[in-house]
Amino acid sequence: MKILLVDDDLFFQKFYSTKLKEAGYEVEIAGDGDEALTKLTQSQPNLMLLDMIMPKKDGFEVLETLSKNPQLVRPPIIVFSTLGDNEDVQKALTLGAVDYINKSFHDVENLKKKISLHLST
Amino acid sequence: MTDLSAYKELYLQTAYTYLHALQSNLRRYKENGENSTVINELHLSAHSLKSQSLVMGYMSTGYVCKELEYIFREIKDQKRSLTPQLSITMIECLKKLNDSLDSIKNSGKEIDLSSEKDVLEQISGVRTNN
């Protein structure tokens, strides 16, 4: 199963890609929203983990682009949130994200469970 | 529970980068006035440093960054201005953040930044639970 990890932060790219690979997933990384949309079409991942605050095109713009273009490939999208971002999470869910993971209080096991859940639905 | 000690060096490498970006962009903003590109970068750097610090368990450092992120977001959304006094306060907070990163590098432990958090909370009006 292939996961597209969308995050501009090198720390989180390394952290989550390592953990996901250890869990047996193939991981592709995109550093911003534009790259994410390109890779969605090119490599057709089974699921996308999406950070919301990024340079250039952010996570909200990615979700909006996908919602306005139903012909684009759209896997289940889990968004990353951090402390104090409740409104952002709600907005992301309204725009079509299926779930969220709190990045602040890391819980890799919870992330794996959510990924497994949404890959099976 | 994830063993984060393996990520400490990477955290410090990227954290110092974000901190230096905050310091230089704050100087640019102060010297050159309103600039949407600079404020976007300030917001992004504060957000990223917050997220990384909280994941690594450096909560005091993370909470200060959360307050900075909130204030920069307000400036970005034109709900607040970066006044000279606010600039000075933020520069002092960034110095303390640098001290915290140095402490993490040298001892593995952050310093207590609750005073700085309190000052920023009074400005932002947003309380962060400890």
Q: Would you state the pLDDT for residue A2?
A: 96
Q: Would you state the pLDDT for residue A84?
A: 62
Q: Out of A10, A83, A108, whose CB is closest to B14? A: A10
Q: Out of A9, A103, A106, whose CB is closest to B14? A: A9
ipTM over 0.85: no
Q: Out of B11, B14, B66, whose CB is closest to A83? A: B66
Q: What is the 3-state secondary structure (H, E, C) of B59-86?
A: HHHHHHHHHHHHHHHHHHCCCCCCCHHH
Residues of A in contact with B4 (CB under 8 A): 106
Q: Nearest C-alpha of chain A: how many angstroms from B16? A: 12
DSSP classification of residue A23: T
Q: Would you state the pLDDT for residue A86?
A: 79
Query: Which residues are registered as beta bridge partners of A102?
Result: A81
- Give helix A86-94 / helix A59-68 axis angle, nearest 10°: 20
Residue of A nearest to B70 (CA): A84
- Give helix A10-22 / helix A108-120 axis angle, nearest 10°: 70
> Are residues A79 and A89 in contact, defined by beta-carbon separation less than 8 angstroms?
yes
pLDDT band at A22 (very low <50, low <70, confident <90, very high): very high
Q: Span A37-61, mean pLDDT? A: 92
How confident is the prediction for chain A on average, in pLDDT? 90
Residue of B nearest to A12 (CA): B52
- Going by C-alpha positions, the residue among B101, B104, B130 that lies closest to residue B118 is B130
What residues have CB less than 8 Å from B72, skipping those under 6 apart?
B39, B42, B43, B46
Q: Which two tokens stand for residue B71?
A: 């204030």
- In a mutational test of the A interface, the residue from B48, B60, B71 whose CB has the highest number of chain A CBs within 10 Å is B48
Q: Would you state the pLDDT for residue B2?
A: 58
Collapsing DSSP to helix, strand or coil, A121 comes out as coil
Residues of A in contact with B43 (CB under 8 A): 53
Q: Would you state the pLDDT for residue B5?
A: 79
CA distance B18 to A71: 38
Residues of A in contact with B128 (CB under 8 A): 83-84
Phi, psi of A4 (to 5 degrees): -95, 115
Of chain A, the percentage scoring pLDDT greater than 70 comes to 96
Q: Would you state the pLDDT for residue B1?
A: 52
Q: Would you state the pLDDT for residue A88?
A: 84
CA distance B67 to B64: 5
CA distance A35 to A61: 12
Query: Which residues are registered as beta bridge partners of B62?
Result: none
Q: Would you state the pLDDT for residue A83?
A: 61
Q: Which residues of chain B have pLDDT under 50?
A: 130
- Give helix B8-32 / helix A10-22 axis angle, nearest 10°: 150
- Over the stretch A57-116, which tens digit does the pLDDT of each residue have? 999 999 999 999 988 878 999 998 776 677 888 899 999 999 998 876 557 888 889 999
For residue A2, give Cα distances in angstroms to A17, A19, A105, B37: 11, 14, 25, 34
Using a cut of 0.80, tell me whether the model's pTM lies above it.
yes
> Are residues A101 and A66 in contact, defined by beta-carbon separation less than 8 angstroms?
no
For residue B44, give Cα distances in angstroms to A44, A96, B1, B25, B128: 28, 24, 28, 11, 19
